[in-house]
Amino acid sequence: MAPSSLHRHINDGLIPGEQITPGAPWRIRLTTDLKACFLATPGDGFEPIRDAMETVGLSRQGLLQRVKRGDLEPFMSSVDREKVYGSRP
């Protein structure tokens, strides 16, 4: 995964990360829960973020805010070598 993608996922609340001080490197703890978010293929009930936005009727930012609050469960998968992510209610 590209560093810019990791930073975006941290910013969006999809991956929990922490910095000791501003400007310090990000620390990401690879917990069992975080590893479980990375799937080879999405399971039943999961959909790409573009489809999830339409299903829930929210903008990308609104959907990601719900992920941050814990209202939606995020996942990331590698499908046809393309990184995708989405949510399920």
Alpha-carbon separation of residue 68 from 22, 59, 72, 85, 88 (angstroms): 21, 14, 8, 14, 13
User: What pTM value is reported for the model?
Assistant: 0.51
Domain edges within the chain: 3-15+31-88
* pLDDT in the model for residue 84: 47
Q: What is the pLDDT of residue 76?
A: 63
pLDDT digits (tens, 9 = 90+) for 27-85: 998 888 787 777 666 666 677 778 878 888 889 888 888 877 878 777 665 554 444 45
If we measure between CA atoms, which residue out of 71, 76, 66, 69 comes closest to residue 28? 76
CA distances from 47 to 18, 39, 76 (A): 28, 13, 10
